[in-house]
Structure 1
Amino acid sequence: MKYFRNMILGWLCVCLIGACSDFLEEKSQDEVLVKTASDYSELLLGYMGYSDCWGLLYLLSDETRLDDNQYWGDGNTDDATGISYRDYYTWQPDMWEGTSSSETNCYKEMYELIMGVNAVLDGIDDAEGDQATKDRVKAEALGLRGFYYHFLVNVFGEPYNCNRQALGVPLKLTAALLENGIARNTVEKVYDQIVKDLEQSSELFRQYPKQRGDYRINGTVVDILLSRVYLYMERWDEAIAAANRAIETSEGLTDYTKMNAGDEFVMASYTHSEVEWVYGKAKMRPILFVPSEKLMEVLEGKKDCRKTFWIKKDEILNQIQITKIDRYDLTELYNTIRISEAYLNRAEAYVLSEQANKNTLALDDLNRLRHHRIIGYTDVSIVDEEDLLNAIREERYAELCFEGHRWFDLRRYGMPSITHDYKIRKNAPWETYTLREKDPLYTLPIPTSMFTNNIQLEQNASANELRRVGIIK
């Protein structure tokens, strides 16, 4: 799929350079053309979240740690397994140019996805075909663009609730090439565009019956994303409204307490009622890492089925496996957007809103989710509002682990200090690396290779930080 996507992207680039206004016109009978709504639908499928970027987020957060039992190859050389991820894992300012540079370039990859989506949006209104198909393709494309810009602005821009006037990322809303590049927009401006895209997408989807599966987004996915974006923007009532729409149109939470503990668990499957979208892939093999001690403490309850299904230990190899993301279907897609997020987004928004009975409503969402995760669970009653908010956020840490949420959540929680332990080879000492409270590296530097073709780009202050040095334990 990625080869097909890149081939089409290259073809679009050539056409756009040669003739932006008529690049879809027929040139010869042998040429592959994109002119019908169905053609655009097939083209868009190649841009449905297929990227190497998602694994970066749990390398940065407090979800993972290196494990001595499974981290090493031969155990003695400097070519230790995992060195490719060291600069991400230790928050180095030159992470894109150091040992990790061969792994991925999330800035470039996201804009490649956006370029393909923009090409669809540029042409879909004039495509041949029925209006319903064109509307659905447009809804999918707008939803994807909002999703990709949400990733970019939360990686390369400061948190919205910290400094919305800080530089975000360039807003590129057409596939046409710009000779002199494009400047960065503010975080607020990027969020405004994300909301505009997602709201328009949601409205289009609501006109037609819901479709679920085939690795495509739908209206429920878009409303989950809207509830997430509004939560980050601290627009509580709008977050609640979007979550309400998502929950009303969902297939319902999957009840883990009724699943057989002996069954092999595959998260990225539409057989789970709560899974609304399967996307992405893992270039970063999670077998190199294990859940952090902090995460394991949250999941430690013996009757919490999430630990049973998501994290298992191979007794023969003495290895912990994150089965939540270390089991692939044949397409190598492993990320999901699930309706459980909508419940958590809504619960948190309730607590922070001014709505009547807000804490009761938030508790209802928290207890409902836990009933589907913990065998024999009994409803809890939390009176103190701060305790309730902390309980919801801790539940979010557990429920959404390794799904690209925790790093973004840490940013909006105030960017607390976290640490990672690392060692270069088995016989070397462990070293502790610290991401300080409100550390500049909570906003990642833009890869320097991106400045070649965009002379208007400005770099983040985090690029000027000194390389991080570990403290021997």
Structure 2
Amino acid sequence: MKIGKCILPLLTTLLFACNDFLDYKDKDKVIPSKLEEYSELVYGELIHASAGSSCYNILLMSDDFGSMVEGDKGDKRREYLNWFNWAKEPQYTPDGAEKEDPAWEFLYHKILMCNVIENDVVKFEDDLEGVKYRLLGEVQAIRAMSYWYLVNMYGEPWRSEEQAAMAMGVPVNEETSIKDKIYARETLAKNYELMETDLKNSLINFEKGEKKNTAFRPNPDVVRLFLSRIYLEQKRYGDVITVCNELLRETQRIVIPLAWMLMNQDSWTGEHPMVARDAGSLLFTWWTRDALPTYSAEYGCGRFSVSQELMALAKENTNDVRGKSYTCWDYSGKKIYKYDYDARGYSKCYGMNYRLEEAYFNRAEAYLCTGERDLAMADLTEVYQERIMNESDSKLSAASDDEAWKIFRKEKRVEFCFEDIRWFDIRRWGLSIEHVYHDYNAKENFVTYVLEAESPNYVLPLPLDVVRQNATIERNKRVEPIVK
């Protein structure tokens, strides 16, 4: 592979002040000097800090979203259309205005901060409370998770060990300060090696460190979940099963109970969103992002909405609470209640969330890939039985492997819709999907856009600023949108 080079964007201020406990060194920089201060730094700069609408595009590109036109209050879709139709260059609106993707800079800033904090914290002597090792575990987890998003947005999908050894990944930044430096793209294999090393080291440090039983700090549960993700992508199914076994054995979280799901049914308040701090299954939550178009656009206009296909899947079983109004979305699919974004704050968590249910699905997929169909169905049933109102209808079974895969993919799509997972599954499985887009001025007219299987548009284009800083950087090939 021809290795391209890039200049990582200028990053925001390295360190931040919390009240007055930090030691001021000059007018521009404040340096923490105690482990407790680094703990505040991790929370404020790595967990709480956000970047507006980062990653909105991976939701819009998935088949979770559809498009609808009603009323005459204007078309709210146009500035996002080129993400929705998988345009060759989606960072320009149809009117030619720039709408740059902020995720690259945001995630590389987190990586830089992890490097800085790790470099400083490792120099402290061991403390009786184990704060040092807990902090090392946290920054190694966040660094690996940040690379996971970068690789799965801007790198090629993993197909095989041979392909990954040559495939285009993302740059690795090991610096502990901001430098005007040229960074080379690494191979996909190198990226995965780095992520696995960080996650394994994180587990070692968590074992030695202070225990925090909270979803608001990185923890062994979410580390094991991300290990299961990268093992699935690498087709290391035995490792997926092992790490999911460990997670399910060690965690204190539970599958969201049916009783919680039912509290929102036919209720307009949305007080008990499915993804919430108090729902029981939350492993980790971090950084908030701006409301998506489907949340913010007013009624009576052209807007994005829950796709008709997804709504139909969720309603195939009339006893499935996920297809009921106000549990995941309202009657028409105009507003999503799955996790809350308005001022009421019923979710009581951030915008990026990871739930215990995924461990059952990841292990089930590994079982299917190793010929253990009955074990896979048993794992899916662990979740399914908490989504079905009729107990006699709450066990899943399959008479063939093909049927088992069909059930698995349907259940995963319905269970994790609007939680980012779907786009990554589309790339990982090499799926073809379609988006229907109705003309605002003539509602009876529509265009069907197609994302073909194994499309080069699975890989997002580099942010415009990165390309401007280095015009020679290796850019992934993308194609014009296909119209059916």
| Cα distance between partner residues in 2 of 1:120 and 1:126 | 10
User: How far apart are the structure 2 equivalents of 1:402 and 1:9?
Assistant: 29
Instruction: Report if aligned partners of 2:100, 2:463 keep a CA contact under 8 Å in 1.
Output: no
Matched, 1:345 2:352: no
Per the alignment, residue 192 of structure 1 pairs with: 193
| Aligned equivalents of 2:11, 2:181: Cα separation in 1 | 24
Instruction: Decide which of 269, 274, 277 is 2:281's aligned counterpart.
Output: 274
1:91 matched to 2:89? The reply is no
Aligned residue runs from structure 1 range 197-346, under 5 A: 197-208=198-209, 210-213=211-214, 215-250=216-251, 251-257=253-259, 259-260=262-263, 261=265, 262=267, 264-283=271-290, 284-287=292-295, 288-300=303-315, 301-308=317-324, 309-313=326-330, 320-328=334-342, 329=345, 333-346=350-363
Residue 432 of structure 2 aligns with an amino acid whose one-letter code is: S
Q: Give the secondary structure class of the aligned counterpart of 2:354.
A: strand
Q: Partners in 2 of 1:155 and 1:427 — Cα distance?
A: 35
Kindly indicate whether the alpha-carbon contact (under 8 Å) linking 2:241 and 2:363 is maintained by their aligned counterparts in 1.
yes
TM superposition score normalised by structure 1: 0.84
CA displacement 1:428-466 (0-9 Å, x = unmatched): 63222221222211111112310344577311112xx34
Which stretch shows the higher mean deviation, 257-266 or 151-160?
Answer: 257-266
8 A contact 2:285–2:352 mirrored in 1 = yes
Q: 1:105 to 1:234 in 2, by over 3 A?
A: same
Aligned partner (choices 360, 366, 370) of residue 384 of structure 2: 370
Determine the C-alpha separation between the residues in 2 that align with 1:54 and 1:353: 33
How far is 1:293 from its partner? 2.2
CA RMSD of aligned residues (A): 3.0
1:386 CA drift (Å):
2.7
AA partner of residue 374 (structure 1) = I
Asked if structure 1 preserves the Cα contact closer than 8 Å seen for 2:134 and 2:211, the reply is: no
Rounded Cα–Cα distance in structure 2 between residues aligned with 1:361 and 1:214: 29
- Judge conservation of contact 1:440–1:461 (CA < 8 Å) in 2: yes
- Seq. identity, %: 26
- Of 53-62 and 133-142, more deviation after overlay is shown by 53-62
Partner SS for 2:435: strand
Distance 2:185 2:28 in 1: 40
SS at match of 2:185: coil
Q: 2:119, 2:471 → 1: CA distance?
A: 25
State whether residues 205 and 218 of structure 1, in contact with CA within 8 Å, keep that contact through their aligned partners in structure 2: yes
Indicate conservation of the 8 Å contact 1:311/1:320, yes or no: no
How does the TM-score come out when normalised to structure 2? 0.83
Deviation at 1:53, TM superposition (A): 2.1
Change (3 A) 1:176 1:457: farther
Q: How many residues align?
A: 440
* 1:99-138 matched pairs, under 5 angstroms: 101-102=98-99, 104-127=101-124, 130=127, 132-138=130-136
AA in 2 matched with 1:253 = V
Counterpart-to-counterpart distance in 1, 2:213 and 2:78: 39
Q: Contact 1:224–1:246 at 8 Å: present in 2 too?
A: yes
2:52 is the counterpart of 1:48: no
Q: For residues 312 and 446 of structure 1, do their structure 2 counterparts lie closer, same or farther at Cα, with a shift above 3 Å needed?
A: closer
Pairing 1:62-101 to 2, within 5 Å after superposition = 62-69=63-70, 74-75=73-74, 80-98=75-93, 101=98
Once the two structures are superposed, the pairs formed by residues 456-467 of structure 1 within 5 Å of their partners are 457-462=473-478, 465-466=479-480
Instruction: Provide, for residues 116-156 of structure 1, a one-character-per-residue CA deviation record: whole Å limited to 9, x for no partner.
Output: 22221221112477261111111111111111111111111
What is the SS of the residue equivalent to 2:229? Answer: helix
Q: Do the aligned partners of residues 360 and 146 (structure 1) sit closer, same or farther apart at CA in structure 2, a change above 3 Å counting?
A: same
- Post-superposition Cα deviations, 1:361-385, rounded to whole Å, max 9, x if no partner, equal 2121111111111112332332312
Letter in 2 for 1:37: L
Secondary structure of 1:421's partner? strand
CA pair 348-197 structure 1, distance change in 2 beyond 3 A: same
CA apart distance, 1:292: 1.5
Query: After superposition, what is the alpha-carbon deviation per residue over 1:236-293, rounded to whole angstroms, capped at 9, x for unaligned?
Result: 0111111112112222112124542346222442211111112233322333422212
Does structure 1 residue 361 correspond to structure 2 residue 375? yes
Alpha-carbon contact 2:66-2:307 (below 8 Å) kept: yes
Contact 1:65 1:290 in 2 (8 A): yes
Q: Which moved more, 1:226-235 or 1:388-397?
A: 388-397
Tell me if structure 1 keeps the 8 A contact 2:121–2:132: yes
| Structure 1 residue 351, shift from structure 2 partner | 1.7
Gapped runs of 5+ residues in structure 2?
1-9, 17-21, 296-302
Q: Is the contact between residue 108 and residue 450 of structure 1 (CA under 8 Å) also seen in structure 2?
A: no
CA drift of 1:360 comes to: 2.5
Partner deviation per Cα, 1:291-332 (whole Å, 9 max, x = no partner)? 212212221122212233543336xxx663211134442878
Q: Find the aligned partners of 1:394 and 1:435 in 2 and give their Cα distance.
A: 19
The 8 Å contact of residues 37 and 128 in structure 1, kept in 2 or not, is answered as: no
